[in-house]
Structure 1
Amino acid sequence: MQLLTQQRISLSIFFFLSGFNFSSWASRIPTIKSALSLNEAELGTILLTMPVSSLIGLPLSGWLVSRFETRIPLTVAFLLNSICLSFIGLANSSFTLVIALFLFSLSMRIFNISVNTQAITLQKQSEKKINGSFHGLWSTGGIVGVAFTTLLVSLKVEMVPHLTSVAVVSVVAALLSFRFMLRNDRSTSGNKLAFGKPDPYILYLGLLVFFAAVCEGGMFDWSGIYFQQVVREEVFTAGYLIFMSFMALSRFISDRIIERLGMARTYVLSAALIFTGICLSIAFPSFWPAMVGFSLVGFGTAAVIPMTYTLAGASTKYSPGIAISLIATFGIVGMLIGPPMIGYLAHAFNLKVSFIAFAFAGIMLIPISRSFFKLEKALA
């Protein structure tokens, strides 16, 4: 087997398992909410832990990918993330849940920067675009994770054995995959941050990631609650599952869509799908319209972050690891604002009205992407 193929398979396993782990946690949010008797505002406040922790982890992750081969922080962070997943299931109070989520999110941030840096390096070595397929595997892992959770919920399996078993499998798979990872990928230039006036190239990409993160992160955290409280479905994971399914489908074909339409038009298409899907779910809050709406949102959000990370890797000012770390900061701020904001809006008004924020975030992709490509053309 060719070395590049081995490296791609190993990296694919990490992307898949990361999606599986994250969806295992996210699809259990309604269970945690009920177990700890949290209202929407309290849950929103607790969810603030994750983006705050991620923001704290950004300088560390940027330093690690510039100091070591990415396979080192990637694997160590993933192992810690898997262990913390089991701690989430063991949390029996708001305080212990916050501690578990803090460590879970911190390790996830280091992993995400490392794995995306390695993905972009592999794509540069490949003869075709492959970054979208990596993110498609993350979403596929998410689908399998939420489907597995749905099965366990229907069988009334408790959360502790569920999350613990997922953690054990992930640790074993990561240790087996480590030796096949890409080596000698440490960047020798572009590793220092330049303080002062923001680089407009990075700024526009960061804003695109920010609004995508508001939509994507919000749907991760609130789609199950929406189906439970607004659509009133007993199997509340249905909305999350359809969202993740169409996100995975879109990511597997996003590279072809980009080649056919170009990145500029793909951003416009993504915005239109997000806006339409959210509006449909709000206007007709019943099972099938909401399922169609959530599928459109999943299809729309899917391409934005991998496409933007690819553009970040082309920065002439920063190395791929530092560029991704910088724009990931905007994504963390999006997650810092998005999910908690939905909780507060839902508490003040109702959950259905609060979802209007996602529609606004989606449509903002159009003017920002147009401004970016005008800048890119001017710099060429």
Structure 2
Amino acid sequence: MEITMNKQRLSLSVFFFLAGFNFASWTSRIPTIAGALHLNEAELGSILLTMPVSSLIGLPLSGWLVTRYDSRIPLTAAFLLNAVSLSLIGLADTSFYLIIALFLFALSMRIFNIAVNTQAITLQKQFERKINGSFHGLWSLGGIVGVGVTTLLVSLEVTIVPHLLSVSVFSVLATLITTQYLLRNDRSTSGNKLSLGKPDPAIVYLGLLVFFAAVCEGGMFDWSGIYFQQVIKEEVFTAGYLIFMSFMALSRFISDRIIDRIGMARTYVLSALLIFSGITLAILLPSFWPAMVGFSLVGFGTASVIPMTYTLAGTSTKYSPGVTLSIIVTYGIIGMLIGPPLIGYLAHAFNLKVSFILFAFAGIMLIPISQLFFRLEKKV
């Protein structure tokens, strides 16, 4: 039994790592794509709207798939589509084709996200210790490696097409090898139908936590490279993204221990303060080292929020894990829908430094929302 559980954990770890690697391979190439297609901040912000809109469209489908089938089936199919659509992003030579590629990429990513986290929550219940944070840590580690590979390829002047095509081929091969070891027979038999009555306050609070985390996390993914390119004037524009991802991964690997020591309620407060102080530092002192320190604080602060919230979602007595995740991920997608494009519009209207105040606000909002959730839990 223990050997099987470890194989399942290892296979899930591979998928989390590859998902982070693929996502970072795309986001770290955003400045390259924007330059090649001659996009200004507002135009780029509008194109980035494709991803959260596609994710919203994919949410009902993903929720239905994880309640209709074992989660490994939509997980595998979605990740294969994700790998193929990544190569289409590299091949896009017009804004129209880029939008189509991003639509497929985001749709497959949403289905994969629900399926892989359903697996993670189910597997977590079989372990005596917390392991969910380590899965998300591997996602961030994959992101670090992805940014590192992109930074190397940019310095070697390797173009985007062979870069993303290579990542796609590797992802397909890894999926075909790893999928056989995923958790089986995890489809829930109850809690699969949404109630149209009064919303569950606990799930609403969890959704809001994911919303504000998504504004920060998604915005940093999309705009940290642009910030270092345009505000910091750094030629190797991936430096800010890389330090952000590095500290996010570091935090996620130790987050389970931090939570065990100080509790989830205090961890949310700590996360909020780190995000706020990090963004403030990068805005007030827009030079290389202060920005690097600031982005590292933001990475450390954002890291624990989504894994913690997903773990809390798995304790819901009203819905199955797949349905609960579908509900709260909707809030996250709305955060992605509002955050990154709004940064683009604010940057176009004012400047990029001013627009980053949005991240500081979203970060500090984690404190009152998390306090409301834990007060509600004490009453139950």
Identity within the alignment, %: 79
What are the Cα deviations for residues 175-210 of structure 1, in whole angstroms up to 9, with x where unaligned? 100111100100000000001221101100000000
- Is 1:296 equivalent to 2:328 in the alignment? no
Partner Cα distance (2:292, 2:328) in 1? 31
Offset at 1:224?
Answer: 0.1
Partner Cα distance (1:38, 1:86) in 2? 20
Q: CA RMSD in A?
A: 0.5
In the alignment, structure 1 segments of 5+ residues that lack a partner are: none
TM-score by length of 1: 0.99
Partner Cα distance (1:320, 1:184) in 2? 14
Offset at 1:335?
Answer: 0.2
Q: Amino acid of the residue matched to residue 22 of structure 1?
A: F
Q: Amino acid of the residue matched to residue 38 of structure 1?
A: L
In the alignment, structure 2 segments of 5+ residues that lack a partner are: none
Partner Cα distance (1:177, 1:187) in 2? 23
Q: Amino acid of the residue matched to residue 105 of structure 1?
A: A
TM-score by length of 2: 0.99
Offset at 1:84?
Answer: 0.2
- Is 1:330 equivalent to 2:331 in the alignment? yes
Partner Cα distance (2:246, 2:97) in 1? 32
Partner Cα distance (2:307, 2:209) in 1? 11
Q: Amino acid of the residue matched to residue 26 of structure 1?
A: T
> Could you tell me which residue of structure 1 aligns to residue 16 of structure 2?
15
Offset at 1:309?
Answer: 0.3
What are the Cα deviations for residues 274-303 of structure 1, in whole angstroms up to 9, with x where unaligned? 000000000000000000000000000000
SS class of match (2:117)? helix
Partner Cα distance (1:196, 1:22) in 2? 37
Moved over 2 A (4+): none
> Could you tell me which residue of structure 2 aligns to residue 59 of structure 1?
60
Partner Cα distance (1:75, 1:136) in 2? 21
How is 1:1-380 mapped onto 2 (pairs within 5 angstroms)? Answer: 2-379=3-380
Instruction: Kindly tell me the number of residue pairs found equivalent between the two proteins.
Output: 379
Partner Cα distance (1:100, 1:198) in 2? 35
Partner Cα distance (1:50, 1:56) in 2? 10
Q: Amino acid of the residue matched to residue 159 of structure 2?
A: E
Offset at 1:127?
Answer: 1.2
Partner Cα distance (1:249, 1:364) in 2? 23
Partner Cα distance (2:212, 2:196) in 1? 24
Partner Cα distance (1:209, 1:240) in 2? 21
What are the Cα deviations for residues 132-172 of structure 1, in whole angstroms up to 9, with x where unaligned? 00000000000000000000000000000000000000100
What are the Cα deviations for residues 69-106 of structure 1, in whole angstroms up to 9, with x where unaligned? 00000010000000000000000100000000000000
